[in-house]
Amino acid sequence: MATDNYQDDNFSDPGYGGSISDTTTLESAALNYPFEYGRRYHAYMAEKRYGLPNDIAQQDRLLRHHDLIKTRLGGKLILAPIQQHPQRILDLGTGIGLWAIEMADKYPSAEVTGLDLSPSELGENFHNEFDPTNVRYIIDDFEKEWVDTNLDLVFGRFLAGSVEDWPRLIQQSYNNLKPGGWAEFEDWDTMLYSTSLPREDFEKSELWTFHRDTIALQESRGRNMRPGPELEKWFRQAGFQNIRAEKFSLPLGPWIQEDKLERKIGYKNLLQMLEDISGLGMTLVWGGKASRDQVELRLVDVRKDMCNCAHFKAQYDYYVVYGQKPL
């Protein structure tokens, strides 16, 4: 295992002005990234290890993911009807920070804070002196206690596999909103399905079994990889009102030939998933389920299945749920 040093001046001391966490400090250890099997991973709170890497390849994939979801949602950053001049917005698991930057541009009245375990996710390729001044980033664990945040919007997207206690996280979001504030969470059901093949036939494919095995590994560690369908339930349990839940399809590959937009979305999804499976495959290695050589051989067949999209006509479901804290 090797380490690498990287400094990102966009990051401030954790605590969201002293309010997200009262215990965390930005230690140099957070910047000493471990390398395993040719991929780089976050170092801060390594015991809470997120299954995917944080290197340049992963940053490129997150850029594609951001573009994919914006396209699916008609160019919108959020669906929640927040007020015109919000003051405080929190982005949980901000990743490369593009959503936070675009929200800061759209809402100059707001202080937008991106929170993530890994500073390099925001890193090497996507930030410069032209970033809006009303966005900042904090290294911290969003499942720790928050204090007095008084937020207008809490946002979380694609946190599948990174949350230990989903109901608590949604409740924590509710508790730290100002009255009338909104929370919006967006996430996948990461188990894909075929729209053309019988289920028993599709489940014989390497494409399906690879998803099954990587999902099972993360769930054995207590990480829900299919949170999307449960978001609405957790919002209701937390006490939100004016809840709206929407489900969107994300085809894998441009197999919907008769619809230009769906074909475009399918192509974008295929590109980001082809990048994603390498990182997912390595989770099987460090999880003790296979050797690196076994995984690499398996990924050859997975990629073949992905590119054979006209045969499988597979897709995922993507859920957007938002709700308001009562006035």
Domain assignment present for residue 21? The answer is yes
How many whole angstroms separate alpha carbon 299 and alpha carbon 311? 18
Task: Give the CATH number of the domain where residue 234 resides.
Answer: 3.40.50.150
pLDDT above 90 for 72: yes
Q: How confident is the model at residue 229 (pLDDT cuts 50, 70, 90)?
A: very high
* Entry pTM: 0.86
How many whole angstroms separate alpha carbon 282 and alpha carbon 62? 17
- As a whole number, mean pLDDT of residues 88-117 equals 94
- As a whole number, mean pLDDT of residues 8-26 equals 41
pLDDT of residue 20: 41
Q: pLDDT tens digit string along 250-278?
A: 999 999 999 999 999 999 999 999 988 88
H/E stretch holding 8 reads none
pLDDT above 90 for 183: yes
Domain assignment present for residue 98? The answer is yes
pLDDT of residue 24: 39
Domain assignment present for residue 6? The answer is no
Q: How confident is the model at residue 4 (pLDDT cuts 50, 70, 90)?
A: very low
- As a whole number, mean pLDDT of residues 109-115 equals 94
Domain assignment present for residue 5? The answer is no
How many whole angstroms separate alpha carbon 6 and alpha carbon 312? 42
Q: pLDDT tens digit string along 233-242?
A: 999 999 999 9
Q: How confident is the model at residue 19 (pLDDT cuts 50, 70, 90)?
A: very low
H/E stretch holding 239 reads none
Beta strands (DSSP E) in 4-150 are 11-12, 35-36, 39-40, 88-92, 111-116, 135-139
- As a whole number, mean pLDDT of residues 134-147 equals 86
Burial of 29: CB neighbours in 10 Å, binned 0-12, 13-18, 19+: exposed
**CB atoms near residue 140 (< 10 Å):** 24
The pair of structure tokens assigned to 202 is 């599709």
% of the chain with per-residue pLDDT over 90 = 61
pLDDT above 60 for 309: yes
How many whole angstroms separate alpha carbon 164 and alpha carbon 145? 14
Domain assignment present for residue 4? The answer is no
pLDDT above 90 for 298: yes
Domain assignment present for residue 243? The answer is yes
pLDDT of residue 306: 97
Domain total of the chain: 1
% of the chain with per-residue pLDDT over 70 = 78
Give me the chain's average pLDDT, please: 85
Domain assignment present for residue 255? The answer is yes
Domain assignment present for residue 1? The answer is no
pLDDT of residue 10: 46
Domain holding 48, by residue range, is: 11-324
Q: Tell me how many degrees the CA angle 170-173-179 measures, rounded to the nearest 5.
A: 125
